[in-house]
Amino acid sequence: MAKYNVVFVLGGPGAGKGTQCENIVRDFGYVHLSAGDLLRAERQRPGSQFGEEIEGHIRNGTIVPVQITCSLLRRAMEDSGKNNFLIDGFPRNKDNLDGWNKAMEGVADVKMVLFFDCTEKTCIDRCLNRGKTSGRSDDNLESLQKRIQTYTNSTMSIIEHYKKMDLVCELNGENSPDKVFDEVKVALDKLSS
């Protein structure tokens, strides 16, 4: 049996992935791993050979090669000593998906994909608002438009792939965080029953 249980969390920039993951960690005790946060930490790590490459992708809203991202995820999973993970912002494209399947077959089981659906306008408004305080180099209109393009062109087909496997729980990310979390709870309760 696989060692790790995984729930992937997907949705456009600003769809509420991070916010809902915080709620889930508080009430369900999963370990939250944000692919974007792990990449930002690796970018900052003194001596990292990937720092510049990662920053280039982040500013451009493009996707870092899976070897880098999947290694960071796997190391964080191993280091945690835990078994249940919420992996947020991954897999974002076919390279991510194929790399994950290859590296994690027999190691991790994907139990569900939480998908927060949101309009482009809401994504942009929320991220520009977050940009006032986030300090993120990609919470600006130019990067955001590229991130949304990547989401539409590369991530939507990954969500479709998991829909065909009947793993997707789709929630309306336009709703208030409390309302979205009420629905998240129902989905996660079902998963653990």
Please report, as ranges, the residues that interact with ligand C5P according to CB under 6 A. Answer: 13, 34-36, 39, 57-58, 61-64, 69, 89-90, 92, 96, 138, 147
Q: Give 56 or 193: the residue with its C-beta nearer to ligand C5P.
A: 56
125 DSSP 8-state letter: H
Residue 123 has which token pair?
Answer: 């994504």
Q: Cβ 127 to ligand C5P, closest distance in Å?
A: 8
Cα angle 179, 156, 162 (rounded to 5 degrees) comes to: 80
**Which residues on neighbouring strands pair with residue 113, listed in sequence order?**
8, 168
87 contact choice in ligand C5P, Mg ion, none (CB below 5 to 8 Å, kind-dependent): none
Based on CB atoms, which residue is closest to ligand C5P, 101 or 189? 101
Q: How far is the CB of 100 from ligand C5P (least distance, A)?
A: 10
Cα–Cα distance measured from residue 153 to residue 163, given in angstroms and rounded to the nearest whole number: 17
The partner in contact with residue 35, picked from Mg ion, ligand C5P, none with C-beta cut-offs of 5 to 8 angstroms by kind, is: ligand C5P
Under DSSP, the state recorded for 49 is T
Instruction: Write phi, then psi, for 111 (nearest 5 degrees).
Output: -90, -30
Does residue 51 belong to the site contacting Mg ion (CB under 5 A)? no
Give me 39's structure tokens: 């990449």
31 burial type by CB count under 10 A (0-12 exposed, 13-18 middle, 19+ buried): middle
Select the span of 11-19, 69-77, 98-106, 155-163 touching Mg ion (CB under 5 A). Answer: 11-19
Compute the least distance from the CB of residue 88 to ligand C5P, in Å.
7
- Partner from ligand C5P, Mg ion, none contacting 147, C-beta within 5 to 8 A by type: ligand C5P
**Residue 191 near residue 112, CB atoms below 8 Å:** yes
Between residue 13 and residue 42, which ones bind Mg ion under the rule CB under 5 A?
Answer: 18
User: Where on the chain is the footprint of Mg ion (CB under 5 A)?
Assistant: 18
